[in-house]
C-alpha cells in the first residue's frame, strides 16, 4: 500500500492543519479510513455533505450526466443548467430571481462584491468581527481573522468591521461610500454565533434608507442546516444578494450568487469557465430533490433539538456554553478545543473547531438517531 500521508506531505502546499487519518470512503453519516476504521461524521466536510456522503441520488445523477456531457461553455445554453436553475429558484427566497453560478463559496462572495460596486457605484463594505467569507482577495477582505489576512496584505481597500449582533456599532461605520453590508445569519467559522432577528431587521432598514446592498452569506447555513431551507427564513428579512455553496450539490464543488432585481450587470463584465457546469448542475438537482423529498429542514430541526436535550441531561465540566440552531452546533469549551477534537477522533467521532475554544458540530442532516446517541455518549465521556 502506498503511504498516502507521506505523498501528500511531499507534494501538497502545507496550508491545512492536518488530522492523522486517511479517509477513503463515506456513506451517509459514516466515514472510513484506509485501515477500515469506521467514524461517525459530525462535520460533513464542513457542512457540505448535508444529504449524506455519496448520496445515491447524487451518485446516479453525476454518473448519468458524466456519460452524457461533462462540460459546456457558458456561452451556450444547456438543458441540465436550465433545470438546475428552475429547481434552485423553486426553493430560494421569492425576491431573489436570478443567479450567477460558481464553483465555490469564495467565488460567489467575490461576485457579490463586484456586483455591489457596479450597481451602487460605491466602493466601501461593512463586514463583522469573527466573520468568514472566503480566501480570495475580495472575500478575504471581508474576512476578519488576522491570521488569514496578515501575510497577504494589502487587501482590497474599503472594508471595515463591526461586532456581530451590534447594530449601533455597525451603523456608525456607514457613510455615503458604503456599497454593501455582508453578514452570515449564523457565524460559522467565528464560533457558531447566532444572528438576532431584531439586529438583521434594523440592518435591512438601514440598507433601504442608505441605498446599501445587503449581502447574506448562507454558504454554511444554507440548505436545511439550521432547520429552514435557508437561515434567512428565521430572520424575516429579504437579502439583495445571497451567497450559496458547500451543500448545494451533494458534495460536488459548486456555488451560487442569488440576486434580486436590483442587480443588473452588463454582458461580458463577469464570468466563469466551470461555473454552472453540467456535472455540478446534475448533482445540484439531485441534491435539492433529496432535501425536498425528505423534508430535510424538519430533520435538522428535530435532530438538533434532540441533541441539545440529550446533551443537557449531563454535567459537562469542560463545557462553558452550548449554542445550537438546527444541526448547527457550537460547544464553547473552557479550554482549547484541539485536544478534545483529537480524543473524539480516536473514539471514532469526527468534529471540527471554530476558533480555538469552540467545538463545532455540523453532522450530515441524514444522521440516524442511533449515531447521534453514540456521538453524544462519546462527547459526554470527553467533556464530563
Ligand X SMILES: *Cc1c(COP(=O)(O)O)cnc(C)c1O
Place of cell 471554530: 354
3-state percent helix, strand, coil for the chain, nearest multiple of 5: 40, 20, 40
Considering beta carbons, is residue 264 or 356 the nearer one to ligand X? 356
Our CB check for ligand X shows the closer of 41 and 189 to be: 189
Residue 50 near ligand X by CB under 6 A:
no
Stretch that binds ligand X, among 52-60, 98-106, 264-272, 277-285 (CB under 6 A): 98-106
Q: Which stretch binds ligand X (CB under 6 A): 6-14, 76-84, 103-111, 151-159?
A: 103-111
Closer to ligand X at the Cβ: 105 or 227? 105
* Least distance (Å) between residue 151 CB and ligand X: 19
Query: Phi-psi bin for 326: left (phi > 0), alpha (psi -120 to 50), beta?
Result: left
Residue number, 104 or 287, with CB nearest to ligand X = 104
We find the least distance from the C-beta atom of residue 152 to ligand X, in angstroms, to be 15
Work out whether 304 is an interface residue with ligand X (CB under 6 A).
no
Task: Give the one residue of 193, 220, 226, 357 binding ligand X; rule: CB under 6 A.
Answer: 220
Q: Which has the closest alpha carbon to 53: 40, 63, 64, 44?
A: 44
Q: Is 219 in the site for ligand X (CB under 6 A)?
A: yes
Do residues 310 and 373 touch, judged by C-beta distance below 8 A? Answer: yes
Torsion of CA 382, 26, 221, 212, to 10 degrees: 130
CA distance 282 to 80: 6
Q: Is 260 in the site for ligand X (CB under 6 A)?
A: no
Q: How far is the CB of 188 from ligand X (least distance, A)?
A: 5
Q: Site for ligand X (CB under 6 A): which residue of 52, 93, 105, 222?
A: 105
d(CA 221, CA 227): 9
Distance between CA 2 and CA 324 in Å, rounded? 41
- In angstroms, what is the minimal distance from the CB of 220 to ligand X? 3
Question: CA of 4: how far to CAs of 109, 349, 350, in Å?
Answer: 33, 21, 20
Q: Minimal distance in Å, beta carbon 194 to ligand X?
A: 14
Compute the least distance from the CB of residue 381 to ligand X, in Å: 29
In whole angstroms, the minimum distance from the beta carbon of 58 to ligand X comes to: 18
Bridge partner list, 338: none
* Rounded (10°) CA dihedral 116, 120, 121, 125: -50
> Rounded to whole angstroms, what are the CA distances from 317 to 98, 256, 332, 359?
49, 42, 12, 14
Q: Is 107 or 301 the residue whose CB approaches ligand X more closely?
A: 107
245 binds ligand X (CB under 6 A): yes
Is residue 106 close enough to count as binding ligand X by CB under 6 A? yes
Residue list 118-177, contact with ligand X (CB under 6 A): 132-134
Least distance CB 352 / ligand X (angstroms): 11
* CA pair distance 343, 346, nearest whole angstrom: 5
Rg of the chain in Å (alpha carbons): 21
Q: Identify the residue among 55, 104, 128, 141 touching ligand X (CB under 6 A).
A: 104
List the beta bridge partners of residue 331: 322, 359
Count of residues touching ligand X (by CB under 6 A)? 14
Neighbours of 26 (CB within 10 A): 20
Residue 334 near residue 26, CB atoms below 8 Å:
no
The CB-of-132 to ligand X minimum distance in angstroms stands at 5
Q: Is 217 in the site for ligand X (CB under 6 A)?
A: yes
Q: Which is nearer to ligand X, 164 or 378 (CB)?
A: 164
Q: Is residue 162 within 8 Å of 217, Cβ to Cβ?
A: no
Output the residue with the shortest Cβ distance to ligand X.
105
Is residue 185 within the footprint of ligand X (CB under 6 A)?
no
Enumerate binding residues for ligand X (CB under 6 A): 104-106, 109, 132-134, 184, 188, 217, 219-220, 245-246
Amino acid at each position: 500500500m502506498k503511504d498516502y500521508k507521506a505523498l501528500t506531505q511531499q507534494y501538497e502546499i502545507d496550508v491545512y492543519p492536518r488530522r492523522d487519518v486517511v479517509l477513503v470512503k463515506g456513506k451517509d453519516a459514516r466515514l472510513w479510513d484506509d485501515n477500515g476504521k469506521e467514524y461517525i461524521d459530525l462535520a460533513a466536510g464542513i457542512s457540505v455533505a448535508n444529504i449524506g456522503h455519496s448520496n445515491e441520488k447524487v451518485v446516479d445523477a453525476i454518473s448519468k450526466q458524466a456519460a452524457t456531457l461533462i462540460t459546456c461553455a457558458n456561452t451556450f445554453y444547456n438543458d441540465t443548467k436550465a433545470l438546475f436553475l428552475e429547481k434552485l429558484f423553486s426553493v430560494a427566497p421569492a425576491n431573489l430571481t436570478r443567479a450567477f453560478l460558481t464553483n465555490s463559496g469564495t467565488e460567489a462572495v467575490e461576485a457579490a462584491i463586484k456586483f455591489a460596486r457596479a450597481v451602487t457605484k460605491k466602493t466601501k463594505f461593512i463586514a463583522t468581527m469573527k466573520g468568514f467569507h472566503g480566501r480570495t482577495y475580495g472575500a478575504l477582505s471581508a474576512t476578519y481573522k488576522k491570521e488569514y489576512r496578515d501575510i497577504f496584505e494589502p487587501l482590497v481597500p474599503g472594508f471595515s468591521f463591526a461586532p456581530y449582533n451590534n447594530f449601533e456599532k455597525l451603523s456608525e461605520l456607514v457613510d455615503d461610500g458604503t456599497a454593501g453590508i455582508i453578514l452570515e445569519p449564523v457565524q460559522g467559522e467565528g464560533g457558531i454565533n447566532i444572528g438576532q432577528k431584531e439586529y438583521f431587521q434594523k440592518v435591512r432598514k438601514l440598507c433601504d434608507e442608505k441605498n446599501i446592498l445587503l449581502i447574506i452569506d448562507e454558504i454554511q447555513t444554507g440548505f436545511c442546516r439550521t432547520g429552514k431551507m435557508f437561515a434567512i427564513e428565521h430572520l424575516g428579512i429579504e437579502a439583495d444578494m445571497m451567497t450559496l455553496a458547500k451543500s448545494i450539490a451533494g458534495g460536488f464543488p459548486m456555488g451560487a450568487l442569488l440576486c434580486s432585481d436590483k442587480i443588473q450587470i452588463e454582458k461580458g463584465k463577469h464570468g466563469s469557465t466551470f461555473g454552472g457546469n453540467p456535472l455540478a448542475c446534475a448533482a445540484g438537482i439531485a441534491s435539492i430533490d433529496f432535501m425536498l423529498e425528505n423534508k430535510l429542514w424538519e430533520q435538522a430541526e428535530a435532530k438538533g433539538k434532540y441533541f441539545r436535550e440529550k446533551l443537557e441531561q449531563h454535567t459537562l465540566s469542560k463545557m462553558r456554553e452550548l449554542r445550537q440552531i438546527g444541526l448547527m452546533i457550537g460547544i464553547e469549551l473552557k479550554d482549547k478545543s484541539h485536544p478534545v477534537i483529537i480524543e473524539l477522533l480516536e473514539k471514532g467521532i469526527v468534529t471540527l473547531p471554530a476558533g480555538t475554544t469552540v467545538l463545532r458540530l455540523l453532522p450530515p442532516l441524514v444522521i440516524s438517531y442511533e449515531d447521534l446517541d453514540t456521538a453524544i455518549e462519546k462527547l459526554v465521556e470527553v467533556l464530563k
